[in-house]
Structure 1
Amino acid sequence: MKRVIGFLGLFAFLVLVRGVLAADISTADCDRAWMTSPAYTTCQTPRVDTNGAEIPRAVATGTGLCYVTIGCRQANNQTVGTDIQFDPKNKNNLHNCNGKLKSGGC
């Protein structure tokens, strides 16, 4: 029984540490990851809101992931809205698939 309680305590500690470490990703980190992803060149977002405040391209979710909502070009040159949550370590997997952001192949 002591062994089970000790294991559960260790497990809870590791989950807590992982959550704290994952939350260390900032909006600036997400913005940099987005701007260096393959999808960035065919997707755009306004950088200023209606009040003139700068808008980040991608924001941190607090869970170690980033979120971007953006307009991406389709093959017919129309722009459509799309969004995705992504791991900044996997930014090279982000692709514009005919106006839809996807992680991995189209």
Structure 2
Amino acid sequence: MIERIDTGARMSKIVKHNGVAYLCGQVGDGDTVTEQTRDCISRIEALLAKAGSSPDRMLQAVIWLADMADFAEMNAVWDAWVPEGHAPARACGEARLARDVLKVEIIVTAACD
């Protein structure tokens, strides 16, 4: 069975299938990469909880940065957040994001109930 949560005309915020939750890409508010990453992570935590999951159950993360020069700044926030011993498989690359003010977008897949 496929369960779609917070579904709109274009996308669902969460899709659950066979014990896996697929989250839509999350962006955050703020002027700096640190602020946007913190807000983005907060949104991810809320979606994970809604899906019956948590950060220690993440399977994969794909991170897009508007500028790879921000890699270390984003990683400082990410590394402090990921539960020790539970780092997901991860990729990070540079991409033009949907709005010019965006600096980071994170897409997470996690095991769920």
Alignment TM-score, normalising by the size of structure 2: 0.29
Alignment TM-score, normalising by the size of structure 1: 0.30
Give the structure with the higher percent helix: 1
Report the structure number with the largest CA radius of gyration.
1
Per chain length, whose mean CA-contact separation is higher, i.e. which structure has more relative contact order (CA < 8 Å, sep 6+)? 2
Give the structure with the higher percent strand: 2
